[in-house]
Amino acid sequence: MNSSTEAVNEVAEQLADMYKARVKERERAGEEPATIGQIENEMRETLRQIGQQALSIFLSSMHGTPASEITCGCGGKLKYQRRRPATIVSVFGKISYERAYYAGCECGKGRSPVDEQLGIEPGSVTAGLGALLALAGIEFSYEESAKWLRAYLLFDVSENTVRAETEQMGALQAEEERKLIIRSQDQDYLLERRRQLGQLPSRLYGSIDAAKVRIEPRPKKGEEKEEHEDWRDMKVLCWYQTEEVPPAQRSARQRAKTDREHPPLRAKNMVYFCDIIEAATFGNLLWATGYIVKADLCPELVFLGDGATWIWNLVDHHYPHAIQIVDWYHAEEHLETVARDAFSSLPERAAWLEQTTQSLWDGRLEDVIRSCRSLVSLSPEAAQAVTYFSNNRERMRYDRFRAAGYMIGSGTIESGCKQVVTHRLKLPGAQWTLDGAVHTAKARAAWLSGSWQSLCDQRSSLSLAA
């Protein structure tokens, strides 16, 4: 719904004339001239009040001439009662309006056609405001969100309202994922999808990791509060593609990669999903979201991650033909840990580390394992490294991976964990219920993935579907 230029210009000229008159009044009264900041703030508040009043008038005028009766949802008849008042909270603040109300059906329910038509739920936050509150809620603590929103909206919204709207967005995302999982297990649907492939990415990446979240048990009414808290793994999945970083935009670390004959790559088109669930259950989400990005059909699917067994078990089960790569930096850090533990002499440590790291870079895994095994008597870390490198031999063929042009660092998913989880869920003093943590993270993941508008559209349809 777009406003005509003529109508906007007319209102704008009236508003400008009003403020010019105010400036002259200040001059006549000998007051200090208003600054641009003062004028901006006063004009914002005026526009908010205009919107508040205009929306109230608009809603009250929507009833037209009421019909004497309408059909109830149960199939019975509802009779017109009166113009009944209602209140909502919109982007302009609290709005009061009157609309035609119908009741008298045997089912005991009443209806307001205007509310149903516009998706309004009296006494609640509108969809437009709800989306803004949730945006603040996925970025700041709920306490800070309320303060931040006051400065932007020019009216107060409670912390609990921000929390409710944020978690509702996450709950909508959770419901979409639930439907997605069901659909992805429908063989008929999957066969039809294969017949309508469309364009496939030539190479697709997937990465999985986890970040700890503090969950505070909260008792139900009548139960005693548990004293302990629980740290749970928020599992995060990212699907993405890559592109080469232009020379002018390369960091010092990326320039070093180029010097070692590995053009630096960066992720693009990232899509995030997350949950606090067991690994096997998370696998259902891995499979279901993969079919959105056509992971199962992609000519070249690459998974990057650390050495966590549960990650590679999921990849083996759901995408057995995917290329698996252990993050280069995790592997390199294992060698650094062994070197620190085994050598007290800095020159010996540096020499061993340089030689063994070069062997790892060149894909000579047997040499790496042999070097670690030679230090087992000196270092418990070396014994663990032997197991680590032995179990991940095929995932550490870095010479082959570089030759094929694959990304070999899992920084994308590590960054994803920070953006989805750490940035919001691990703020100082943050404690969460399980549902609160999951829904807030899912809402944030949707925003970062570019699918926020889809959630907003669903939020707008909630009352219409009631």
Which tens digit of pLDDT belongs to each residue from 172-224? 999 999 999 999 888 887 777 777 767 788 999 999 999 999 998 766 666 66
pTM over 0.75: yes
Question: What DSSP letter does each residue of 225-248 carry, written as one string?
Answer: PP---EEEEEEEEEEEEEEEPPGG
In a domain, residue 109? The reply is no
pLDDT digits (tens, 9 = 90+) for 330-367: 999 999 999 999 999 999 999 999 999 999 999 999 99
pLDDT at 226: 56
**What residues make up the domain containing 343?**
187-417
**204 is a domain residue:** yes
Query: In whole angstroms, how large is the CA radius of gyration of the chain?
Result: 30
114 in any annotated domain: no
| 413 and 305 Cβ atoms separated by less than 8 Å | yes
Domain boundary among 417, 446, 461: 417
Residue 49 lies inside a defined structural domain of this protein: yes
Rounded CA-CA distance 325/313 in Å is 13
Residue at 91 is within a domain: no
Mean pLDDT (whole number) for 115-137: 93
Domain boundary among 58, 77, 93: 58
Give me the DSSP letters along 152-179.
HHSS---HHHHHHHHHHHHHHHHHHHHH
The structural domain count of the chain equals: 2
Q: Output the CA–CA distances (angstroms, integers) from residue 239 to 37, 182, 303, 353, in the order listed.
A: 44, 20, 9, 34
Pair 272, 413 in one domain: yes
Residue 465: is its pLDDT beyond 70?
no
Is residue 50 in a domain? Answer: yes
User: Is residue 25 a part of any domain in this protein?
Assistant: yes
Q: Pairing state of beta strands 69-71 and 77-90?
A: antiparallel
Mean pLDDT score, 120-149: 95
Please indicate, yes or no, whether residues 52 and 196 belong to a single structural domain of this protein. no
Closest CA relative to residue 275, chosen from 432, 460, 439, 417: 439
Averaged pLDDT, 448-466: 83
3-class secondary structure, 442: helix
Asked whether residue 89 is domain-assigned, the answer is no
3-state secondary structure of 88: strand
Chain length of the chain: 466
Q: How far apart are CA 170 and CA 449, in angstroms?
A: 13
